[in-house]
Amino acid sequence: MDPNGKCALVTGGASGLGEATVRRLIDHGAKAVIVDLNEENGQALADEYPEAAAFAQCNVTVAEEVEGAVESAVSRFGRIDILINCAGMGAAERTVGRESPHDLKRFKNTVAVNLFGTFDMIRQAAFRMAKNEPDEDGGRGVIVMTGSVAAFDGQIGQASYAAAKAGLVGMTLPIARDLSSLGIRICTICPGVFDTPLLAFVREDIRERLAQAVPFPKRLGRPDEFAQLVDQIIRNPYLNGEVIRLDGAIRMTPK
């Protein structure tokens, strides 16, 4: 699918991987709806592209807000062709701490944002995509989920995060099969250590240690490198049901 002239819904689109994806897609002629909790950043990004972008504030764990974001995309641009799920959150807590066991509410919330919120956005956006006229291959839409290398190499304290991201990996193929009759493709990208706002508050020595753990190239990933892969998935009609690690060959240590 050529993104030129298409409408993309990007969750977590106000910063980091999502922002880079929004910018790249718009640069290639797409329209974008930036879905994020952060109204200030999301609206500021949309204001940079007044003809090509819109902002929809949304908590992906609230079904009514997810539906509202999907409807706002259809209302503004008439259709949805592409869904990029970048909304997510990290968490760090051992299964058993010194004073108490893992906080169950925090575990549930991490899974709700990363896994349930992603699936809710997929089901609602795909329902809209199914109404599109098919292209020459019968394609009606493309979906990308953002997993993590934690799905395979979860570190100490990452039980909730790794479980949520592994859930995305596990549902990639079933959803691809579910949506195949509708002409909608889906893939999952599993990034390694990327230079995003999440790492902006990490001490420089820790950032450098993370960079040096990458076999090659020995640096943090750049958000636009994630966006490049999104673009390639969108354009390649034979990429479907695939999980792709984007990590410079890193394999995370226990801690």
List residues with catalytic annotation. 161
201 SS3 class: coil
- What single letter denotes the amino acid at residue 110? T
Return d(Cα 197, Cα 213) in angstroms, integer.
20
Q: Which two tokens stand for residue 203?
A: 């001490």
Return d(Cα 251, Cα 3) in angstroms, integer.
33
170 SS3 class: helix
Burial 124-150 (b: 16+ CB within 10 A, else e): bbbebbeebeeeeeebbbbbbbbbbbb
Going through 38-93 in order, the beta strands assigned E by DSSP cover: 53-57, 82-85
Residues paired with 143 in a beta bridge: 83, 186
Residues paired with 141 in a beta bridge: 184
